[in-house]
Chain A
Amino acid sequence: MSVPLISVENLTIRFKTDEGLITAVDNVSFDIQPGEILGLVGESGSGKSVTAKALMRLNGGNTVYDPASRITLNVPGEAPIDVLGLKRERDMRAVRGGAISMIFQEPMASFAPAISVGDQMVEQLMLHSDMSKKAAADLSIEMLDRVGIPDPDKRFNQYAFEFSGGMRQRAMIAMALSTKPKLLIADEPTTALDVTIQAQVIDLMKDLVGEFGMGILFITHDLGVIAQTADRVAVMYLGRHVETGSVRQVIRDPFHPYTRGLIDALPKLSDLDNPLTPIPGDIPSPLNRPKGCVFHTRCSVAIGGRCDRVVPEFVQPGEGHDVACHLAADQLMQGAAE
């Protein structure tokens, strides 16, 4: 087994708010190998973005990391970095934009409006490397070309508002990749794009993983996008991972009722006859997290007296496939007994 690029163990994140301490992420563990795309799926409020931001320590000042939490970044050929142990802003620079880059959902909001796209790309390159301005500009233009932006020389001097939505997202990707990060965090990178452009961006990202061999943490609420990009998937609900496994295991053979609910709620072109089945109710407020299994308040197959009391342990329906559900555990027990 190779050393994972990043390894997250028992990550628990709480926020101090006026209403009290809120748990946003609850005991989450996962690894990302070099060259692997891990998809993180869940509804808004499930803690996807908070998890991702923790990898770069980007959460706000009211964040409390549980002492048992550990995030270790292993850049090949360098000493492992204990991300949560970093104290000074100066040390964090090695992580932020150095070993890890991030692309956001809304590319218009991520570029400064009054500085040309090229200058922004050069600025971050000069911060993270000892490149000359000329070399940084050349590399930036080359990256713009690599992500399929026509006339990169001309585009380099333009501003973000002169780019179309898809083009901005490409420029964002070019910028994130120009520092040659080991890990790329993509937070809903295609959500604001048209399907046609989304397909282009997904292809681009897959090509780039092949070429640069980096790991990607791909956050989205769209299971179709995950099916087309990720190698492995973690399904998240109210701060917990409820099911993880390879993309084929989770999407073809989901065990957790929440994963099944997400798949059933997705309108599919291949099935126009059956009505859409929503997951009943709304995601509960993190201020009053349900006891036991966090999903039991919306689960149609919850077992009274058990799901609302006992937190389910992970069980393995297959190699590398983990599910936290009492019902799945019972099914597996039965299967084993027969």
Chain B
Amino acid sequence: MTKPVIEAKGLTVTYQIGKGLLGAKSQLNAVDNVSVTIEKGSFFGLVGESGSGKTTLGRALLHAAPITGGEVTYQDDEVTYDLRNIGKGELKDYRKRAQLIFQDPYAALSPRMTVRDIVAEPLEVMGLTKSRAETDDRVREMAAKCRLNLEHLRRFPHAFSGGQRQRISIARALVSGPRFIVADESVAALDVSIQADVLNLLKAIQADMGISFLFISHDLSVVAHVCDHVAVMYLGQLVETAPTRDLFKRPRHPYTSALMSAIPSLDPDDTGEAEKLEGEIPSPTNPPPGCKFSTRCRFAREACSASTPPLREMAPDHFVACHFAEEFDFTRDIAPATEDA
């Protein structure tokens, strides 16, 4: 059994917002008591609507959002860090080991730096290489991995298309030799034809270099294709986590099932009418009591707003936070798939 790269227990990120009456501050729990385990070398998917706290969770795992409760442990072959109480020196080292790939490749790259300088910058800032020759070697190696040629390295980002830019961002994230990468909506801004190419590249990197990914996306079909484990988030909490195939074959939370049926089908005659979600995600400053999904759930009843459902293991490694999950059968047809675990 390999040790997980990231282990979070009861992770909470709370922001203080404004001032209420009598100076009492109100609080916003962007991430609320979330426990996740990301195994070494896995491609862990995190899905949910905007405002569900996916990005905040990703940032907290990188120590880029304030962890206000719970524990997060990072572990690789060399070091173990307690991210909540990490020291300055350790944090500097952690930055090499954990990296982020952003959503918008147009905004993430400085227009005034050449591709070579963009990719080399982390090495120089972190002091990872001793000479310019060594830096150039590293840059070329990463560029080759991301299918950028030497000619590309001399140019500026404006000369590249969205897919190529995203490959540059990936090369930049890889250059410090990270063991864990958070990819936040990394293909959302790309055309479908290019999206598949970038996804395949990320998968190849994961396989070749043994890097663990947290892949944040709102697109369930993308997640279904690349991830091996998926967590579904709603208003700061996990509502369901499972191995990908189990989750997509038999989602057990009404929210997961509704999300899946909202994906527009390629079949013009299949409108998926039955399960459409009404309304929008409630404001996290004023979350509903009990099960947070109860205001939009078509199966909601009194017990749902009375108490918060805990995550329960309904099948091996398949956790669901719903009081009545036993009653539902959302089994879907996926593929003439053979049962491979």
Q: Is residue A199 within 8 Å, beta carbon to beta carbon, of the partner chain?
A: yes
In this complex, which of B221, B262, B264 has the most chain A Cβ atoms within 10 angstroms of its Cβ?
Answer: B264
Instruction: Tell me which residues across on chain B come within 8 A of A282, comparing CB atoms.
Output: 161, 163-164, 194
- Alpha-carbon distance A280/B201, docked complex (angstroms): 13
In this complex, which of B248, B266, B277, B280 has the most chain A Cβ atoms within 10 angstroms of its Cβ?
Answer: B266
Q: Please state if B335 and A251 are interface contacts (CB–CB under 8 Å).
A: no
Q: Please state if B267 and A267 are interface contacts (CB–CB under 8 Å).
A: no
Given known pairs A266-B192, A282-B161, the reply for A272 and B335 (CB within 8 Å) is yes
Q: Please state if A164 and B262 are interface contacts (CB–CB under 8 Å).
A: no
Within 8 A of A (CB), among B186-203: 191-197, 199-200
Q: Please state if A276 and B262 are interface contacts (CB–CB under 8 Å).
A: no
Q: Please state if A278 and B263 are interface contacts (CB–CB under 8 Å).
A: no
Q: Please state if B248 and A269 are interface contacts (CB–CB under 8 Å).
A: yes
- Alpha-carbon distance A270/B225, docked complex (angstroms): 10
Q: Please state if B335 and A228 are interface contacts (CB–CB under 8 Å).
A: no
- Alpha-carbon distance A192/B220, docked complex (angstroms): 15
Q: Please state if A278 and B197 are interface contacts (CB–CB under 8 Å).
A: yes
Q: Please state if A224 and B265 are interface contacts (CB–CB under 8 Å).
A: yes
- Alpha-carbon distance A261/B197, docked complex (angstroms): 12
Q: Is residue A200 within 8 Å, beta carbon to beta carbon, of the partner chain?
A: yes
Residue in A164, A248, A270 whose beta carbon sits within 8 Å of that of B268 in the complex? A248
B260 to chain A, nearest CB (A): 7
- Report, as a range, how many residues of chain A touch the other chain: 35 or more
Report how many A-B pairs have Cβ atoms within 8 Å: 133
What 1/0 mask marks residues of chain B from 265 to 304 whose CB sits below 8 Å from any chain A CB? 1111001100011101000000000000000000000000
What 1/0 mask marks residues of chain A from 30 to 44 whose CB sits below 8 Å from any chain B CB? 000000000000011
Instruction: Tell me which residues across on chain B come within 8 A of A43, comparing CB atoms.
Output: 191, 193-194
- Alpha-carbon distance A270/B50, docked complex (angstroms): 25
Instruction: Tell me which residues across on chain B come within 8 A of A251, comparing CB atoms.
Output: 266-268
What 1/0 mask marks residues of chain A from 45 to 86 whose CB sits below 8 Å from any chain B CB? 100000000000000000000000000000000000000000
Closest to B49 in A: A194
Q: Is residue B337 within 8 Å, beta carbon to beta carbon, of the partner chain?
A: yes
Q: Is residue A335 within 8 Å, beta carbon to beta carbon, of the partner chain?
A: no
Instruction: Tell me which residues across on chain B come within 8 A of A303, comparing CB atoms.
Output: none
Q: Please state if B224 and A228 are interface contacts (CB–CB under 8 Å).
A: no
Q: Is residue B218 within 8 Å, beta carbon to beta carbon, of the partner chain?
A: yes
Instruction: Tell me which residues across on chain B come within 8 A of A194, comparing CB atoms.
Output: 49-50, 218
Q: Is residue A120 within 8 Å, beta carbon to beta carbon, of the partner chain?
A: no
- Alpha-carbon distance A167/B260, docked complex (angstroms): 22
A212 to chain B, nearest CB (A): 21
Q: Is residue A22 within 8 Å, beta carbon to beta carbon, of the partner chain?
A: no
Q: Please state if B264 and A202 are interface contacts (CB–CB under 8 Å).
A: yes
Given known pairs A265-B192, A266-B192, A269-B221, the reply for A198 and B161 (CB within 8 Å) is no
In this complex, which of B191, B199, B220, B244 has the most chain A Cβ atoms within 10 angstroms of its Cβ?
Answer: B191
Closest to A164 in B: B280
B230 to chain A, nearest CB (A): 12
Instruction: Tell me which residues across on chain B come within 8 A of A203, comparing CB atoms.
Output: 276
Closest to A261 in B: B193
Q: Please state if A265 and B262 are interface contacts (CB–CB under 8 Å).
A: no
A216 to chain B, nearest CB (A): 16
Q: Please state if B220 and A269 are interface contacts (CB–CB under 8 Å).
A: yes
B162 to chain A, nearest CB (A): 7
What 1/0 mask marks residues of chain A from 217 to 253 whose CB sits below 8 Å from any chain B CB? 0000111110110000000000000000001100100
Q: Is residue A19 within 8 Å, beta carbon to beta carbon, of the partner chain?
A: no
A155 to chain B, nearest CB (A): 14
In this complex, which of B224, B268, B332 has the most chain A Cβ atoms within 10 angstroms of its Cβ?
Answer: B268
Q: Is residue B259 within 8 Å, beta carbon to beta carbon, of the partner chain?
A: yes
Q: Is residue B148 within 8 Å, beta carbon to beta carbon, of the partner chain?
A: no
Q: Please state if A221 and B192 are interface contacts (CB–CB under 8 Å).
A: yes
Instruction: Tell me which residues across on chain B come within 8 A of A279, comparing CB atoms.
Output: 193-194, 196
Closest to A167 in B: B280
Q: Is residue A175 within 8 Å, beta carbon to beta carbon, of the partner chain?
A: no
What 1/0 mask marks residues of chain A from 247 to 275 whose CB sits below 8 Å from any chain B CB? 11001000000000111011111111101
A141 to chain B, nearest CB (A): 20
B74 to chain A, nearest CB (A): 30
- Alpha-carbon distance A197/B248, docked complex (angstroms): 21
Residue in B199, B248, B263, B337 whose beta carbon sits within 8 Å of that of A224 in the complex? B263
Given known pairs A166-B280, A197-B280, the reply for A269 and B334 (CB within 8 Å) is yes
Q: Is residue B153 within 8 Å, beta carbon to beta carbon, of the partner chain?
A: no
Q: Is residue B258 within 8 Å, beta carbon to beta carbon, of the partner chain?
A: yes
Instruction: Tell me which residues across on chain B come within 8 A of A200, comparing CB atoms.
Output: 276-278
Q: Is residue B222 within 8 Å, beta carbon to beta carbon, of the partner chain?
A: yes
Q: Is residue A277 within 8 Å, beta carbon to beta carbon, of the partner chain?
A: yes
Query: 7 closest Cβ contacts across the A-B interface?
Result: A224-B264, A278-B197, A278-B196, A276-B196, A279-B193, A267-B221, A195-B262
With A200-B276, A267-B225, A278-B196 known, 6 other A-B pairs at CB within 8 A are A44-B191, A195-B219, A200-B277, A222-B192, A265-B195, A276-B200
Residues on A facing B (Cβ under 8 Å): 43-45, 164-167, 194-200, 202-203, 221-225, 227-228, 247-248, 251, 261-263, 265-273, 275-280, 282-283
